[in-house]
Amino acid sequence: MELKELTKFIQKEGERLKSFYNNCDNEKMILAITVKLNEEVGELCQEVLGNLKFLRKEKLDKHTPETLKEEFADVIITSLILVNQMGIDIEQAIEEKIEKINKRNNLPKDWWK
């Protein structure tokens, strides 16, 4: 999937969620998505623990490489929905963060290319 397609999906999913949350105002929507993101991060943590076999034996059967991938995707999608709801240009934010990391580590701008 290309970033343009993902961006369109995120916008449409945000609209769907707004309808699901009874067209609440922007602040309530941001709060709801933030709480949802926290839930998704918790689920991802459980999957990581399960895949590392750091859970009780009776819980391990639920955790597979597929469910781990799904939880990573949930965290990313929910994060991007929150970014969109807050009006942040995520591409610019990531570029700026990469630049900051590169400067902090004395690396050239495009060292990974």
**pLDDT by position in tens, the chain (length 113):** 898 899 999 999 999 999 999 999 999 999 999 999 999 999 999 999 999 999 999 888 889 999 999 999 999 999 999 999 999 999 999 999 999 999 999 999 889 88
CA distance 7 to 57: 40
pLDDT in tens, 92-110: 999 999 999 999 999 998 8
pTM: 0.91
Cβ count near 105 (within 10 Å): 8
Catalogue all structural domains in the chain, each as residue range(s) with its CATH number: 3-88 (1.10.287)
CA distance 46 to 56: 11
Please give the span between the terminal C-alpha atoms of the chain, in angstroms, as a whole number.
21
CA distance 16 to 64: 29
Task: Quote the DSSP letter at residue 25.
Answer: -
